[in-house]
Structures are given as structure tokens and as C-alpha cells.
Chain A
Amino acid sequence: MFKNFDIDVGTTPSEVVYEEDKFKLLHYYPMAEKIHPVPLLIVYALVNRFYMLDLQPDRSMIRRLLEQGMDIYLIDWGYPSRADKFLTLDDYINGYIDRAVEIIKKRSGINKISLLGVCQGGTLSVMYAALHPDKVKNLIAVVAPIDFSTQAGLLHIWVKYFDVDKIVDTLGNVPGDFLNNIFLLLNPFRLIIDKYVTFLEHVDNVEFTKNFLRMEKWIFDSPDQAGEAFRQFLKDCYQKNLLIKNEMRIDGKRIDLRKINMPVLNIVAELDHIVPADACKPLEEAVSSKDKKTLIFPTKHIGLFVSSKFQKEVWSKVGEWLRLRSNINGESSFTSQLPKTTIKMHEKNTARPIQRSFTNKMLKIAKFLPEKLQPSNFKLKY
């Protein structure tokens, strides 16, 4: 029980192809022989970290999609600091997301990409698709709140009573721990007591313990929220519910959901207590796309990503949906041509390919070192 467990998260190999401020654009290495020509950009929420989508190899949405031949890019928002306090939703949507899209378009040589947004990242993706429909070939919203009028979730009830201006004016960036405490209050007896009782019941099972620790790491690894973006998101979406009314504005431009005309897939978790199903379902009605579909799964918010049953079912359906819509001018939906990559180091996501090339470079340099400092005298650990 007192063993020090080393847990890895987000281990699917990737490289950083672009970075700016705290924002990084990751490109995953392919896992299939044939690759779909239309790249997929994944936009995760600003709350919590993206590696929920790649928690462990057998519970990884990213791996499931890579195995089906998707060419995947993902936005890592990083951890906003005080320097990012003034970032607005405009900076996130028309700035970071748009630049990511432009880079992917350039690298793949095509005009439109597929966009998949998760949770708040789904809401941001929907906003992006409405503002830039000409750049999005397919849109997938996963547990993404669109209609905030529902009273089904506690967050939706509580936020109405929050003085958002006071929160941001006082705290600047909104601390991740502040939000974590609010999330714990959503179901205190399960999240503060029962979860740990269940853990103790299975503590002698190493795999269970590791899975539990991965989840625990993810839950409490919460970046602070850039103040100005938080202010607009809470006021315009949660409090005024402007998005579904087509009245929300980003940098003066109105977000009209009816401008979303590309194929849309809406993934909803029926038992979600964080983003209630009622907040997600209205997307299908709100867009003008002819090809649109809502898939509802009887699971909770993160069950879609970590439940061994659902994550296989959901992501194979999403992969199939994308495959059928990844043709370019009637050509085959597969291509073996991959874009050229620029390799840069990326924190934990480096994985072996990059680590090895880095080590090889180091070994070449080491030839010029004196005998005593030759690497053969040290133990190198990969």
C-alpha cells in the first residue's frame, strides 16, 4: 500500500508542431498504415487537462481514433499564469484555435479540417465553426453544453447566483482549486468519501490502484482559468444563455449557430451530472446542417473516455462517422501520405521516437568528450 506508484498519463507518442504563449499544438504519430486525408483537430476544455482523452493505452480515445487511420492534432492549453489573465474568448477562438487550424491546413494542404471539441472545448469548437464555417469540414461536439437554461445540473443552478465580475476582479485568474472545490460539492458523499472507501477495498489490486491514481491525478490537475475568458464564458453562456439564442458576440461578431452547415455529430452522455444531456441535445436543432446526428450513451461525463465498455463503442462509431465524411472530391477516403513534421520536445508526451533522436544527438556530441565522461561509463535509462 505504501509503494510509490509511478503512473504515466498521455503516453501516446506525439510531437509539438507549434507553440505560442502557454498554447501548444500536438500532432500524434500515426498508428495505422492508411491515413484519412482530412486531419482532425481536438479541442479540449480549458478546465482540467487534455490527457483524460489518453489516460492509459487501453482507455484512450486518441489511440482508438489513431488506430482507425485518423490524422490527429490536439490543442494543449497549458497552465495559464498571471500573464494570461487578459486572454479573452476571442483570443482563444479567433486566436489560438484559428491559428491551429491554419497551421494544420498548411501542413496537410487541404482547405477544411475536422474539428472535435470536448466539454467546454466542444462549446468553443461550436463557436469557432459558426464563425469560420468555411474552414470546418466536419464538426463533432462531445458532451458540449450549448443551451445553458437547463436546471438539471447543479452548476447551472449555482452559477446564476455567482457575482462573476467580483470573482474575476478579485482573483484575476480563477484558481483551479477554487473550481475543484465547487466540483466536489456537486456530489460530496460520493466524491469525498465513497470514492476513497472503494479505493481502499481494492487497494491490493495493482492495476485498479494505478487506474485510480491516474484518475485522481487528472481530477486535481486543474489549470487556473484566464480571468477575462472565464468572465465572458460564465456571464454570456451560463448566466445569460446567449449562445443558443444566437446573440453571443466574440470581438463584436455575432455567433449565429445557423451558419454551421457542415456535417455535425453530437455526442451526449445521458447520466452526465456536470454537463447535463439537456444542455447538449439542442445543438442538432440549432444548426442548419443537413447531415447531422445525435448519439446518446447511458453513461456519465467521463464514462465516454474511461469506461472500458463505452470508450470502445463510442470512438469506433465516431471513427466510422468521420471515415464516411473524409473524402476529398470523391477520392478514396484513405491516403498514405503524411505531412512533413517538425520535431520539438514536448514535456511528458515526448515518448520514444523523440527521446531516441534526442539521445542519438547527445551520443554524437559525446564523442568529443574526455574518456571519463563517455556515456558508456554511465547507465542510460530510456
Chain B
Amino acid sequence: MMTEEQLKKMAEITRGAASPEAYKEFYNLWTKTYEETFGKFLGMTLLGPAKEITEKFFKGFEVFTKFYKAWMNFYFKFYRPWTEAMGKMRDVTSKMMKGEITIESYKESYNAWISTYEETFDKFLRSDEFASDFGAFINSFLDFRKYYEDVSQGYLKTMSLPTKSDIDEINREIHLLKKQVRELSGQVKALS
């Protein structure tokens, strides 16, 4: 389903003169529309005996959309320093490649390419904006993974197979017991 605003943006893009921001804007509009339509529908409270399992299943769409959105947002942020570095590089290369082109000049050009990109990206990676998007991307990835694990655990339970939580519970018990045994052995040793 596309809104009028989305159609306008799409027309702008297809005319061939769209900036990367226009693509991003189009994507944001699409996401917003999805959230307000299908997103709302899939997030609805359900009724009946299959309520729990169906709600959990539908939740997967929301978690995946959020993960995809954060991923795209994170990915898109790399575009700016990339184009900035490309611009800087264009100037450097045009100066370097004048006259005779030798293997050394290619090497020099490569070195300049690496240094320019390194410098431009370092500035970008150092920004709070990047750090914040990076944190958000990792969070949404973890939500997605958690959801996937929860669903898998549900299936394992129905088949009477041990789940991650079951194994963790045993591991925790063993860890505490080992600790206790060590402490008690130490006390016995001190007494003897």
C-alpha cells in the first residue's frame, strides 16, 4: 500500500536525480506506512485458544522490521563518509595521474586512497552519532536473536527436548556447587 507522499518520492527517485537522502526518505515513509497499517494489524491483541502462539508468531514480524530498520539506518550512515572520501580522492587522483603513469604512481594512488578513507572514516567512527546508531543496531539484532531463540525453545519444549534455559539452569547449579566445594575443601585443609 502506498501513500500519495510515497508515490511522489518514488517518482522523484525514478526520474534519476534523487539524492541518497531521497532514498532514505522513501524507505522511512515505507516503514512508517507499514507500521501504521500491517504493523498495527499484526500487533493486535488476539483471542481464543491459539492466542499465545499466534501473538508470538506475529511478534516476529515486528521484531524483524525493527532489526531491518536499524540495520538500514546503520548501513545508510556509512554512505556519507564514503561519498565524502570519494570526493577527496577524486581531487587527489586527478593530480597524481597527470603525466606518465607508472606502477609507482599506482602504488602512490593506492596509498593515498587508503589514507584518505582511513582519515575520513575515523572521524565518522569517532562521532557520537555513529556510536549511538551502532548501539541501536546491536540492540535490535539482539532482540531479533532473542525472539528467534524463544521460538526455538518453544518448539523444543513441545518435543520434550532440553532448552537453552534448562542447560543454563544446570550450568549455574554446577558452577555454584563447584564454588561451594572449593570453599569447603579450603576450610577443611585449614583445619587439618
- Which residues of A are in contact with B by a Cβ distance under 8 Å? 21, 82-83, 85-87, 91, 95, 154, 157-158, 160-163, 166-167, 169-172, 185-190, 193-194, 197
Contact = CB atoms under 8 A, between A and B. Distances in A.
B53 interface: no
Chain A interface, DSSP helix/strand/loop, else mixed: helix
Contacts, number: 65
B142 A171 contact: yes
A194 to B, nearest CB: 5
Interface residues of B, number: 32
Contact of A82 (B135, B143, B171): B171
B135 A85 contact: no
Nearest to B146: A170
Contacts of A83: 171, 174-175
30 contacts: A21-B178, A82-B167, A82-B168, A82-B171, A83-B175, A85-B168, A85-B171, A86-B176, A87-B175, A154-B125, A157-B131, A158-B131, A158-B134, A160-B131, A163-B135, A167-B142, A169-B146, A170-B146, A170-B149, A171-B142, A172-B168, A186-B125, A187-B122, A188-B121, A189-B114, A189-B118, A189-B121, A190-B114, A190-B118, A193-B114
Nearest to B149: A170
A154 B172 contact: no
- Nearest 7 A/B pairs, CB to CB: A161-B135, A86-B175, A170-B142, A161-B131, A189-B118, A189-B117, A170-B146
A87 B122 CA distance: 35
B81 to A, nearest CB: 11
A172 B164 CA distance: 10
A77 to B, nearest CB: 16
Contacts of A194: 114
Contacts of A172: 164, 168
Chain B interface, DSSP helix/strand/loop, else mixed: helix
Contacts of A161: 131-132, 134-136
B139 interface: yes
A246 to B, nearest CB: 27
A21 B178 CA distance: 10
Contacts of A197: 110
A185 B134 CA distance: 11
B157 interface: no
Interface string B64-102: 000000000000000000000000000000000000000
Given A157-B128, A197-B110, A170 B118 contact: no
